[in-house]
């Protein structure tokens, strides 16, 4: 609420470092827009590459004014798996590329909120998170100056675990599609 109405935070004592909402809205929108554009672009490129390799038969473009009729897919894997793969790659690439910006935004969001974090060096206590960034550019500069490139990738291991879980689910889905396709072919040949 303090961020939204923009009350004088310095006179209230405990919310002195909160950034006003207007200073973090533009970076948040920019982050979401960049991520969306990258995701869409990567998905499109993956599907085009799969189509050129003959792995995907969906949505053939018009050629010389005539619409090419795609050959019907032979099984569930050819029907659905290319798009699942494109969505997976479209998820991974933007997440990795935009991760530094997400780190900066997360630090700006929690600034002034009396947040404490676990001390991962010895694991016996918690440490207050005390930052005083003036905005997005100041946060970028401070992280670069004090922590180096690695500072932008703190918490990256959690993203890798997230990606690994998605990958395992994708592989499991492929196995299920293969099994369902074989079962369906067996029933139709009888």
Pair 9, 2: CB distance under 8 Å:
yes
Model pTM score: 0.70
Pair 126, 116: CB distance under 8 Å:
yes
Give phi and psi for 148, each to the nearest 5: 75, -170
Across 28-33, average pLDDT: 96
Tens of pLDDT, residues 132-160 = 788 889 989 999 999 899 989 988 999 99
Which string of b and e fits 123-143 if b means at least 16 CB within 10 Å? eeeeeeeeeebeebeebbebb
Range among 2-16, 31-45, 73-87, 114-128 with highest mean pLDDT value: 31-45
Rounded Cα distance between 20 and 41, Å, is 33
Range among 4-8, 80-84, 98-102, 126-130 with highest mean pLDDT value: 98-102
What is the pLDDT of the chain when averaged over all its residues?
Answer: 79
Rounded Cα distance between 11 and 25, Å, is 24
Domain count, the chain: 1
Which residue range(s) make up the domain with 155? Answer: 2-188
pLDDT, position 3: 56
């Amino acid at each position: 609420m303090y961020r939204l109405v923009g009350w004088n935070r310095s006179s209230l004592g405990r919310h002195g470092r909160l950034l006003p909402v207007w200073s973090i809205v533009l970076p948040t929108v920019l982050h979401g827009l960049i991520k969306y554009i990258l995701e869409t672009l990567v998905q499109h490129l993956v599907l085009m590459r799969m189509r050129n390799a003959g792995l995907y038969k969906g949505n053939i473009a018009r050629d010389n004014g005539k619409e090419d009729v795609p050959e019907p897919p032979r099984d569930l894997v050819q029907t659905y798996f290319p798009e699942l793969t494109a969505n997976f790659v479209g998820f991974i690439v933007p997440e990795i590329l935009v991760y530094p910006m997400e780190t900066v935004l997360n630090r700006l969001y929690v600034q002034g909120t009396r947040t404490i974090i676990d001390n991962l060096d010895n694991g016996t206590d918690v440490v207050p998170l005390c930052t005083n960034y003036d905005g997005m550019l100041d946060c970028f500069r401070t992280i670069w100056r004090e922590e180096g490139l690695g500072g932008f990738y703190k918490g990256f291991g959690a993203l890798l675990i997230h990606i690994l879980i998605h990958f395992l689910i994708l592989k499991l889905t492929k196995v299920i599609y293969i099994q369902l396709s074989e079962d369906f072919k067996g029933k139709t040949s009888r």
